[in-house]
């Protein structure tokens, strides 16, 4: 049972809405292009601009989700500071933190970066509103008319028109609806923070994701400093771009060359290491795949993964055993992606399989060799997109040979080529 706001519909006759100034049917030829909505506003971060499709769109609503402590508030505070420095008014709705806490974060993020005069100019454009009532937030925003607004978070807001507690399905949906209507009506670029459940999905009704323009997921390992931003929905750009950040004492800093970060400590000459050429949107990324194969002491051998799907490991293990003759049925297999990167692209199949084979044979893959290709159930190496760009990036980082579907047709032939005695 979900509580909803009761609304009265006035006018039952046809044409009533049109005569009262409501919507009407419009021909395509009558639609004029709104130039202001096509202008991208920079976020101050090249990585965030890449993920959003080139920058922020005026009047858009972005839902930012992620695990606690991943850096959502830090990233949005940096964004608010940047927009405020451009002499644009910024409204930061703090539902989870006090104004004093946010001020401390602002001082930490700007310490040593700018002069006192510049900070004072930004302070004149930053406004904070510690409020949990969404109707009061709408009133204050209509009076202030900011160009940019941050709401942290949607699960803390509520409206007096519903009796449910904050965070309930009805309250989250109604609060989001009123914020979206405000953003579209007043042309306010709005970033809304959303909580995630223990399963990693965005808390609240699924309709929340349908209502907003962009859904931005911020992920990362708490034990490492790397953070990854990716959109699972974007009405103004692609959804396959990934932004890479480094969490430092000064905030979230862009990582312009992720490949150099993830392969800078490649364990060349050690069995069980292979380098994969991946594509994240239009950017090629090289990562190190590590594998360890040992004789199992259990009745049921273990399959442990970090950064790779467990189903992917089980499929590739079966292919290596059936098509390549590796006896893996009595061995534990551990696979890890170095640096905390999460691999989902099928082009990493060949590198994962060869890392397992390398550990199985206890023979290292030759330094300077990178792998790319999808491995099918028949043991064939299948083609992937943008191979030339992958090879160019690999050679730029010192990998002279890239083994893929153009060089070898089956996983068995790759095993023989790399590990033949």
Annotated domain spans of the chain? 27-256, 260-419
Query: What pLDDT, on a 0 to 100 scale, did the predictor assign at position 352?
Result: 97
Please list, in sequence order, all residues whose beta carbon lies within 8 angstroms of the beta carbon of residue 102, skipping any fewer than 6 positions away.
77, 92, 94, 128
Q: pLDDT-derived band of residue 14, with 50, 70 and 90 as boundaries?
A: very low
Task: Round the average pLDDT of the chain to a whole number and report it.
Answer: 88
Lowest mean pLDDT among 266-270, 330-334, 392-396: 266-270
Q: pLDDT-derived band of residue 120, with 50, 70 and 90 as boundaries?
A: low
What is each CA distance from 65 to 155, 183, 344, in whole angstroms? Answer: 12, 19, 20
Is the separation of the CB atoms in 141 and 61 below 8 Å? no
d(CA 207, CA 210): 5
d(CA 312, CA 377): 11
Q: pLDDT-derived band of residue 365, with 50, 70 and 90 as boundaries?
A: very high
| Residue given tokens 């009076």 in the structure block | 143
286, pLDDT greater than 90: yes
80, pLDDT greater than 70: yes
d(CA 123, CA 118): 9
123, pLDDT greater than 70: no
d(CA 116, CA 288): 44
Query: What pLDDT, on a 0 to 100 scale, did the predictor assign at position 377?
Result: 96
CATH of region 27-256: 3.40.50.300
88 or 163: which carries more pLDDT confidence? 163
User: Of 335, 222, 211, 323, whose CA–CA distance to 272 is shortest?
Assistant: 335
Q: pLDDT-derived band of residue 113, with 50, 70 and 90 as boundaries?
A: low
Among 31-35, 176-180, 234-238, 245-249, the range of highest mean pLDDT: 176-180
Q: Phi first, then psi: give them for residue 136, nearest 5 degrees.
A: -65, -35
Is the separation of the CB atoms in 403 and 370 below 8 Å? yes
| Residue given tokens 């890449």 in the structure block | 50
d(CA 419, CA 363): 7
Query: What pLDDT, on a 0 to 100 scale, did the predictor assign at position 149?
Result: 96
97-112 burial, b at 16+ Cβ within 10 Å, e below that, comes to: beeeebeebbeebbee
391, pLDDT greater than 80: yes
219, pLDDT greater than 70: yes
Query: What pLDDT, on a 0 to 100 scale, did the predictor assign at position 17?
Result: 43
242, pLDDT greater than 80: yes
SS3 (DSSP) at 64:
strand
pLDDT, mean of residues 201-221:
90
pLDDT, mean of residues 89-97:
92
Please list, in sequence order, all residues whose beta carbon lies within 8 angstroms of the beta carbon of residue 301, skipping any fewer than 6 positions away.
328, 329, 330, 331, 332, 333
What is each CA distance from 418 to 75, 330, 363, 372, in whole angstroms? Answer: 44, 23, 9, 14
Lowest mean pLDDT among 81-90, 112-121, 123-132, 277-286: 112-121
Query: What pLDDT, on a 0 to 100 scale, did the predictor assign at position 291?
Result: 96
User: Of 227, 90, 82, whose CA–CA distance to 152 is shortest?
Assistant: 90
11, pLDDT greater than 80: no
Q: pLDDT-derived band of residue 8, with 50, 70 and 90 as boundaries?
A: low
Count, residues in the chain: 421
SS3 (DSSP) at 356:
helix
pTM for the full predicted model? 0.82
Lowest mean pLDDT among 32-46, 47-61, 236-250, 370-384: 32-46
State percent of the chain over pLDDT 70: 91
Query: What pLDDT, on a 0 to 100 scale, did the predictor assign at position 403?
Result: 95
User: Of 411, 408, 349, 417, whose CA–CA distance to 378 is shortest?
Assistant: 411
d(CA 62, CA 49): 13
User: Of 86, 90, 178, whose CA–CA distance to 128 is shortest?
Assistant: 90
pLDDT, mean of residues 185-193:
95
User: Of 335, 336, 317, 315, whose CA–CA distance to 327 is shortest?
Assistant: 317
Is the separation of the CB atoms in 287 and 342 below 8 Å? no
Query: What pLDDT, on a 0 to 100 scale, did the predictor assign at position 93?
Result: 95
d(CA 293, CA 317): 11
Is the separation of the CB atoms in 348 and 276 below 8 Å? yes
Residue 161 corresponds to which tokens in the numbers above? Answer: 């028109």
Class of domain 260-419: alpha beta
State percent of the chain over pLDDT 90: 58
Query: What pLDDT, on a 0 to 100 scale, did the predictor assign at position 210?
Result: 94
24, pLDDT greater than 90: no
d(CA 79, CA 30): 37
Lowest mean pLDDT among 109-113, 400-404, 406-410, 417-421: 109-113
Query: What pLDDT, on a 0 to 100 scale, did the predictor assign at position 110?
Result: 82
User: Of 313, 327, 317, 319, whose CA–CA distance to 379 is shortest?
Assistant: 319
Q: pLDDT-derived band of residue 370, with 50, 70 and 90 as boundaries?
A: very high
Lowest mean pLDDT among 88-92, 116-120, 246-250: 116-120
pLDDT, mean of residues 42-65:
93
Per-residue pLDDT tens over the stretch 34-45:
544 557 889 999
10, pLDDT greater than 50: yes
């Amino acid at each position: 049972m979900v509580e909803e706001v009761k609304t009265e519909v006035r006018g039952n006759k046809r044409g009533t809405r049109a005569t009262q100034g409501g919507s009407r049917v419009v021909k395509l030829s009558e639609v004029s292009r709104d130039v202001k909505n096509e202008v991208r506003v920079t976020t101050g971060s090249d990585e965030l601009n890449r993920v959003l499709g080139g920058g922020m769109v005026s009047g858009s609503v972005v839902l930012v989700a992620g695990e606690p402590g991943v850096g959502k508030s830090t990233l949005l505070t940096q964004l608010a500071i940047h927009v405020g420095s451009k002499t644009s008014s910024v409204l930061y709705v703090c539902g989870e933190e006090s104004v004093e806490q946010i001020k401390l974060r602002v001082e930490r993020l700007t310490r040593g970066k700018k002069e006192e005069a510049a900070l004072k100019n930004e302070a004149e454009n930053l406004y904070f509103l510690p409020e949990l009532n969404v109707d009061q937030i709408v009133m204050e925003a209509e009076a202030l008319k900011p160009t940019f607004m941050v709401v942290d978070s949607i699960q803390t807001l509520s409206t007096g028109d519903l009796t449910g507690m904050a965070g309930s399905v009805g309250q989250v949906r109604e609060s989001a609806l009123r914020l979206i209507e405000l953003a579209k009506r007043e042309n306010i670029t709005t970033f809304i923070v959303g909580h995630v459940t223990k399963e990693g999905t965005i808390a609240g009704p699924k309709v929340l994701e349908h209502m907003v323009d962009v859904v931005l997921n911020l992920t990362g390992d708490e034990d490492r400093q790397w953070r990854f931003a990716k959109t699972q929905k974007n009405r103004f750009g692609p959804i396959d771009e990934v932004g890479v950040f480094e969490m430092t004492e000064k905030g979230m800093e862009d990582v312009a060359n992720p490949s150099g970060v993830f392969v800078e400590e490649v364990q060349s000459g050690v069995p069980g290491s292979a380098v994969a050429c991946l594509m994240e949107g239009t950017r090629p990324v090289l990562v190190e795949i590590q594998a360890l194969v040992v004789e199992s002491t259990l009745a049921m051998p273990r399959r442990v993964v970090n950064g790779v799907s467990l189903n992917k490991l089980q499929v590739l293990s079966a292919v290596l055993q059936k098509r390549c003759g590796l006896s893996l049925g009595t061995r534990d297999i551990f696979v890890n992606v170095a640096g905390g990167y999460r691999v989902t692209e099928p082009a990493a199949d060949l590198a994962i399989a060869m890392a397992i084979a390398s550990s199985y044979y206890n023979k290292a893959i030759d330094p300077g060799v990178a792998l790319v290709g999808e491995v099918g159930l028949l043991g064939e190496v299948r083609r992937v997109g943008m191979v030339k760009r992958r090879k160019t990036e690999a050679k730029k980082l010192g990998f002279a040979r890239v083994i893929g579907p153009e060089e070898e047709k089956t996983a068995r032939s790759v095993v023989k080529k790399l590990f033949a005695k």
